[in-house]
Structures are given as C-alpha cells and as structure tokens.
Chains A and B, each alone.
Chain A
C-alpha cells in the first residue's frame, strides 16, 4: 500500500499520509475547517458536523473529522450548502445551551454571522450546577455534548467509566449511575474530563467559587 494519498481540497492538490482524515489533510495544508466536538486527543465521532465538506460524488455532506482521505478525492470546504449547515447548527446550539464559555463556538458564530437569537423561545437545557465533590463542578447548562468527558473517562484514557449518557435526543445529558454524586461512583478524580471540556461545563471548584464570589460582588 502506498504511504501517501493525493487529493484536491478547494482546488489545491494535496499529498497526505495514508490513513489521514480529510480534516487532518486540510489542516496540514493550511485550509481552515471549523470544528466543535473534535479533539485530536479523543477518538473522533463526527457529532457536531461543523466540519462538513462536499466530496465530489457524495450525495450528502461529509464530516471531515471522520472521513478518510483517499486518492483522487475532490473536496470543497465552503459552499452555500456547507455554510447553511454550519450556521444553522450554531444558531440551534446557541438557542439550546449556554455558549458563553465555548470560545470556538463564539468565534464561529462571529465568523459565519450566525444569528444566535434566531431559534430563541424554544426549549433550553439549563440544569442546575452540580457541586458534589471537593475537586470540580459540573455545570451542564454549558454542556455542548461533545462526548469528550465520557470518552476520556472510558477507553480513550482513564478506564474509570464513572460517567455516561443519560436520556436521548434533545434531552441527552451526561450522568452517573442512578444520578449518584461523583464520590459514590468509580470516579478517581483524575481531572482529565475537566482538561478536555471545551465549554466550561466542567470547572475546578476553586475557579467556580471565585467566579461566583466575583459576580456576586456589589
């Protein structure tokens, strides 16, 4: 098998390592493809679909983070279809969860001109903050369901398996066994989930307490 593959991204011929994804190939070549859920430290799952691109011959948009680059592929990273998908996802997400501490989302909203009030008035996800341990708080009102915390807690890193998903669809949350406080679960407080959280939903207790005090000040 050859070591490299050749593909075209936005009209530029690109050579990339065999097995690389379209996202990796594009970024290595300096092409900008936005992502939200993607973290190179975790197995990619193609959740947020911000990285969708058009691949010649494919009927639907393809998520670049999970699409392997193959020889002869022709990729377009910006088109009206792509922009509509990215913008609409951002607008719907902004109406669902608190993005104030998700810098990637805020930057993409600014860049695409997404109207964060466009889907306002519908259901929002605003569960109360969970402060059940001395190490960190879980503020799932800020959760964007990128799955990174579940993944690093499981076989992407720690093998602690303390958290998983709860519910489904719009009502999906990150949860523990029968909603137990973290100290009563298999959590080892390694802190890796806090480290990979992109949205401020998981935060060291001290930082959260200082923020609370600061915002409560007269």
Chain B
C-alpha cells in the first residue's frame, strides 16, 4: 500500500538504529542519515540534541538510569543512587520511567539501548471492574489466542460489517472521554476526523506515557497489548484511516518489544493488512519509539516527532483532527482511551454505562504509589471516592499528609479531599485534576517541599524551550524553590512564585507550560507555610 509518508519521517528510527549499532550517533552516521533522508545537517543535529536518549558523543558501555521523581524518592532512590555510584556504576538521573509501583526504579542502558526489565510479575493489578485489565497482573503477557478466547476481537469483527458512523454513535452513547489527561470526548474527535476531507487519515496511539506517577499504559502495553490495539483498529475503521502509528516512549523497552511482536502477530492473523478478514477494509500498523521527551506526549509535539522533527508543540488551531500527521486528519488517542473504546464496543454502550457515574461511565485506571500499603494499578468504576480508593489499596502507610492527584501536571491535596468522588465531573467541580489517574500518597513523615521541588526540576528538564513563559519560568520556579529549601529564600519569593506560576499557566503555548506550576500553585494555597518569604 502506498502512503505519502515523507522520508524525513524515518529520521528518529534511523538515529535510534544508528545508536543501537554504534552505541552513539557519530558525525559520520548523522551525515549519512541526513543525506539518505534528504534532511539538512543542522536539522539532524537539532533533532539529536532535543531528545534526551540520543547521544552525539560516545558514552560509557553501561549506564544506570535512576529515577529522581517523587514516588521513587519516597522509596529511597537517593540511597540507591549512592550505592550504585559507590559500586563504580555510571549513574544518570532519569525522569520517571513509569515503575512507581515498584520504586525505586532503575533502568539499565547498554551501549545506547535500554535493557528490557522483565519484571511483569511484580506489577500488582487489582480493582472492582476489570474490563481493561482482565488479562493483566498475571505475571505474563496475554497471547492473542487468550485475548480472543476472552471475547477480544469480536467488537472489531462486528464493526467491519457496520458503517463507521454506527461505531462513532456507540462511542458517543457510551460517553467515552480521553484518558490522557484532558478528558476530551472521544466520539467528537473521531467524528471530526471521519468528516474531514482527504484520502489519507491517521490514527495515532499515544503511548508516550511520561507523566511522573503514571504506569497504567505501560502495564496494558506489556501485558495485554491486544486491547488498545483492537481499540486503534476500531478507531481506524470508524474514521476511515488506513494507517495506525503506535508511538511508545523510548524508556519502555519491554512495551516496545511486546508491541512490535503484537503488531506482527496481528498482521499474520489477518487483523491488519489489505482486505482485513475479507471486509474490503485495509489498514497498516507501525510502531515508533520515542527518544526521551515528555513533551512528545502532547499530541502535536508527538506528531512533529513522528515527522522527524524536534518535539515542539504546534500552534492550535488548526487541530490534528483536520491538520494532523503529514497535514492530514488524525486521531490521537491515549492507550487507555483506546482500551476503553474496545471495552465499550465489546459490551455495547448500554452495558458500559451501567457502571461509573452518569457523566463518566465505565472503568478508570488509577496508578497508586508512594505511602500506600499495596501500590499498583487499580481498575475501578468512575465515582469511587478518593478515600475508598486508598482503602482498596490497603490504606495509607502511616498518617496521611497529602496526595498528589494527576501527576506532575496535577495538584497536591490534603486529607480533606478524601470524600471527593473520582469522576470527570466531580473533579472538575472541585477544581481538581484527574489527569492520568495518578494517586501518589505522602504520609506525615514526609517533607512535602521535596516532591514539589522534584516536579519543578522535572518541568525545567522537559520544557521544550519554544515559548518564553515555560522556557524561562520552569527554570526560575526551580531556582526559587531550591533556595527556599537551602534556607536562602529572598524577600518577595512567594510573590515571585505566584507571578511565575500564573504567567506560565496563563500565557504558555501548550499544556506542558500551562500545567508546569499547577502543583506549586496548589501547594502554595494549601500549605503556604512551605513557602518561606525570607
């Protein structure tokens, strides 16, 4: 099948391949890739220098990436780091690799490539409504045969006999909203792409899960890749897309391996390719690896990345539903959203809506970590209270001080929030973010200033540098918080934090900058004593 994929789109795959071969990207390799793909040399260097995992200089054979984000810090990442250093290891401070449920996390890199940690057995998966995760948490990945035997692929086979519009209508009736953080109505997105003119349309599975505290998509991808991929097939059929890209963050080597395998198995089984199951519908699925950039979870930055560019978010409008990948109408959906679409379409909207709340039907994945008895992935119907969710995970270890909701881009709340019902509408009414389902618990022995500083540093590290408020504000926010921790706060620092925070929130170009101060601002309001003013 032909498609208008420009050569430049192969830039990131080519650079990653060069690094896998040589351990780094030499000037010669970069120049050859530039020539082969027709990309200017300066652009190639610009791309290499943007992505954290790409190396333009030779490095040590083995590097240990130790997570420096909040959940791992609670579990002793600083001590682990010291141990590794004492043992003579090359240690890199790494952003959250999505292993918060088995913190402290360390990922090994050997000659420029991550070594997949085969630790699936240690992921605890539990919950009261197991529609997305029935095959997860068993210590081994599900096979396609098991998935099909459990009812999988029936929704896709049935869909192939129906008009695409019928699928979109069912998703609308099921009230499915995006699970990546923004909560946008999935049916509206699909409908817009279906209605957009143009012969080429795309579906992108956003598996660039990088929100500190989040590991739900990793577990789905590693243990039951079939469900989100069936969701992607359903989306592609519904909107008339002939090509699906699965973009997985580079820090998920096991998920990448599993998805590569699953995509090949689906092709062998006839679920992708031309004339799928004799329906006349043709679709191709391709896996892309990220290379270390949180910003690429932002849908337009992700699109730029697939196009072989630095992950700069685009101006919106126009939106990806009309001007997405290669300028064509594009659906970008989070992994959990697509697994949810599969669960909805397998059961039908009516059965799906029997659980959850009126406005947030069905199940939601919650990532519990920190000071909680049984950290893990919990699939619960929407509407459970925060307190009941903590109880379901065995309760708080120690006395509850605070909970980080929604991840680094979320908010810190105190015990007074335990009665809040976890649904899109209840959270919105309470002015709280549901985000990607992060619930990170801090007991009263913890210094709350520490996670706030770690999150600030995370954003300073991950800002793309495009717009001024975020490029400058993430740096200044970190500096103010760090001097406060060092006992060197200046007069007026609290007002500085407020001005930097609100400037980023109000004036940044994309969602990263707009949320880079949300944890700080939430804490300033709830725990003003944490922010000395000289």
Contacts and interface: CB of A to CB of B under 8 A. Distances in A.
A84 to B, nearest CB: 6
B43 A178 contact: no
Interface stretch (B211-219, B420-428, B448-456, B467-475): B467-475
Contacts of B499: 84, 87-88
Interface in B296-315: 310, 315
A153 to B, nearest CB: 8
B476 interface: yes
B76 interface: no
A119 B56 contact: no
B472 A93 contact: yes
B474 A169 contact: yes
Contacts of B474: 169-170
A118 B496 contact: yes
A46 B467 contact: yes
Contacts of B462: 169
Interface stretch (A60-68, A127-135, A208-216): A60-68
A95 B473 CA distance: 11
B500 A92 contact: yes
Contacts of B293: 168
Bin chain B's interface residue count.
35 or more
B274 interface: no
B282 interface: no
A163 interface: yes
B467 A92 contact: no
Given A161-B43, A169-B462, A49 B509 contact: yes
B41 interface: yes
A89 B468 contact: yes
A186 B492 CA distance: 49
B46 A169 contact: no
A185 B500 CA distance: 39
A45 B465 CA distance: 13
A145 interface: yes
A167 to B, nearest CB: 5
Contacts, number: 149
B397 interface: no
B41 A172 contact: no
Nearest to A176: B42
B154 interface: no
B45 interface: yes
Interface string A136-171: 000000000100000000100000011111111111
A81 B507 CA distance: 9
Nearest to A144: B468
Contacts of B49: 165-168, 175
B503 A164 contact: no
A50 B469 CA distance: 10
A161 B311 CA distance: 18
Contacts of A170: 460, 463, 465, 471-472, 474-475
Interface residues on A, range: 35 or more
Contact of B45 (A84, A89, A118, A178): A178
Nearest to A47: B467
Given A84-B503, A96-B472, A45 B50 contact: no
A169 B496 contact: no
A85 interface: yes
A48 B38 CA distance: 31
A194 interface: no
A133 to B, nearest CB: 15
Given A96-B472, A118-B496, A178-B30, A89 B503 contact: yes
A182 B469 CA distance: 31
B61 interface: no
Contacts of A186: 40-42
Given A61-B507, A84-B503, A161 B465 contact: no
A23 interface: no
B260 to A, nearest CB: 28
Given A85-B506, A166-B46, A167-B49, A178 B469 contact: no
B467 A122 contact: no
A9 interface: no
A7 interface: no
B206 interface: no
A185 B149 CA distance: 59
A164 to B, nearest CB: 3
A172 B30 CA distance: 20
Contact of B469 (A49, A119, A123, A171): A49
A139 B1 CA distance: 50
B232 to A, nearest CB: 29
Contacts of B50: 165, 167-168
Interface in B486-504: 490, 492, 496, 499-500, 502-503
Contact of A45 (B315, B461, B502, B505): B315
B509 A46 contact: yes
B462 to A, nearest CB: 7
B464 A169 contact: yes
Given A168-B49, A169-B475, A85 B465 contact: no
Nearest to A68: B317
B8 to A, nearest CB: 12
Contacts of B492: 118
A121 B478 CA distance: 13
Given A46-B467, A88-B499, A122-B475, A165 B41 contact: no
A92 B507 contact: no
A48 B45 contact: no
Contact of A119 (B46, B317, B496): B496
Interface in B35-85: 40-46, 49-50, 56
A161 B472 contact: no
A161 B39 CA distance: 9
A186 B31 CA distance: 13
A142 to B, nearest CB: 16
B460 A169 contact: yes
A121 B479 CA distance: 9
B322 interface: no
Given A47-B466, A48-B467, A186-B42, 17 more contacts: A47-B467, A48-B468, A49-B507, A49-B508, A84-B499, A85-B502, A89-B472, A93-B472, A121-B490, A161-B43, A163-B42, A165-B46, A165-B310, A165-B465, A168-B310, A177-B27, A185-B42
16 contacts: A48-B468, A49-B468, A49-B469, A60-B507, A63-B507, A63-B509, A85-B469, A85-B502, A88-B499, A121-B490, A164-B45, A165-B310, A166-B49, A168-B463, A168-B465, A169-B474
Interface of A: 36, 45-50, 52, 60-61, 63, 66, 68, 81, 84-85, 87-89, 92-93, 95-96, 118-119, 121-123, 145, 154, 161-172, 175-178, 185-186
A-B interface, 9 closest residue pairs, ranked by CB to CB distance from nearest:
A161-B40, A164-B46, A172-B465, A177-B41, A92-B472, A164-B42, A169-B463, A88-B503, A170-B475
